[in-house]
Chain A
Amino acid sequence: MTKAIASSNRASFVVVVLVSLGAGLLIWQLAVSFTHIPSYILPSPKSVWAALADGLTRSPTERASFWFHLIDTLRATVFGFLIGATLGIFFAACMAEYWLVEVAALPYVVGLQSLPKVAIAPLLVIWLGYGSGSKVAMAAVLTLFPVLINAMAGFRSTPRDRLELMSALNASRLQVFRYIRFPGALPMIFAGLNIGIVYAMLGTIVSEFTGAQRGMGVIMTQMQSVSDTAGVFAALVVLGCTGYVLISIMRLAQRWAVFWSESTRREIDQ
Chain B
Amino acid sequence: MSSLQNAATPRVCAEPEVKVPVLSVRAIDKRFKTKSGDEIHALNKISVDLADGEFVSVLGPSGCGKTTLLKILAGIVPPSGGTLLYRGTAISGPQAGMGVVFQSSVLLPWWTVLDNVLLPIRVLKLDLTSYRQKARELLRLVGLEGFENSYPGELSGGMQQRAAIVRGLIHDPGILLMDEPFGALDAMTRERMNVELQRIWLSTRKTVFFITHSVSEAVFLSDRVLVMSARPGSLVENVRVSFPRPRNADLMSTAEFGDLTRHLRHVLGGSGAVHD
Residue numbers of A with Cβ under 8 A of B are 161-162, 164-171, 175, 179-180, 183-184, 186, 258, 260-261
Contact = CB atoms under 8 A, between A and B. Distances in A.
A186 B109 CA distance: 12
A170 B95 CA distance: 7
A165 B107 CA distance: 10
Contacts of B123: 166, 169-171, 175, 179
Nearest to A176: B123
A171 B75 CA distance: 12
A170 B100 CA distance: 12
Contacts of B153: 260
B102 interface: yes
Interface string B86-122: 0000000111101010101010111000000001101
A259 to B, nearest CB: 8
Contacts of B96: 169-170
Contacts of B98: 168
A161 B180 CA distance: 14
Contacts of A169: 94, 96, 119-120, 123-124
Label chain B's interface by main secondary structure.
loop
Please name the 3 residue pairs, one residue from A and one from B, whose CB atoms are nearest each other, closest first: A170-B94, A260-B109, A168-B100
A164 B70 CA distance: 12
Given A161-B104, A260-B151, A260-B153, A168 B109 contact: no
Nearest to A159: B106
B80 to A, nearest CB: 18
A77 B93 CA distance: 49
Contacts of A261: 109
Given A164-B71, A164-B76, A168-B75, A179 B119 contact: yes
8 contacts: A166-B123, A168-B76, A169-B94, A170-B93, A170-B123, A183-B108, A260-B109, A260-B153
A38 B156 CA distance: 67
Nearest to B177: A168
B102 A167 contact: no
Nearest to B94: A170
The size bracket of the interface on B is 20 to 34
Contact of B108 (A162, A164, A170, A258): A162
Contacts of B93: 170
Most buried by B among A162, A165, A171, A183: A165
B74 interface: yes
A161 B102 contact: yes
Interface string B149-162: 00101000000000
Contacts of B104: 161
Nearest to B75: A168
Contacts of B151: 260
Interface string B115-153: 000011011100000000000000000000000000101
A189 to B, nearest CB: 13
Nearest to B100: A168
A136 to B, nearest CB: 32
A170 B97 CA distance: 11
Given A179-B123, A260-B109, A165 B100 contact: yes
Interface in B184-217: none
Contacts of A165: 100, 102, 106, 119
Contacts of A168: 74-76, 94, 98, 100
A201 B154 CA distance: 39
Most buried by A among B76, B94, B102, B123: B123
Nearest to A178: B122
B75 A170 contact: yes
B265 to A, nearest CB: 30
A168 B151 CA distance: 23
A151 B75 CA distance: 30
A162 B108 CA distance: 8
Contacts of A170: 75, 93-96, 123
B275 to A, nearest CB: 24
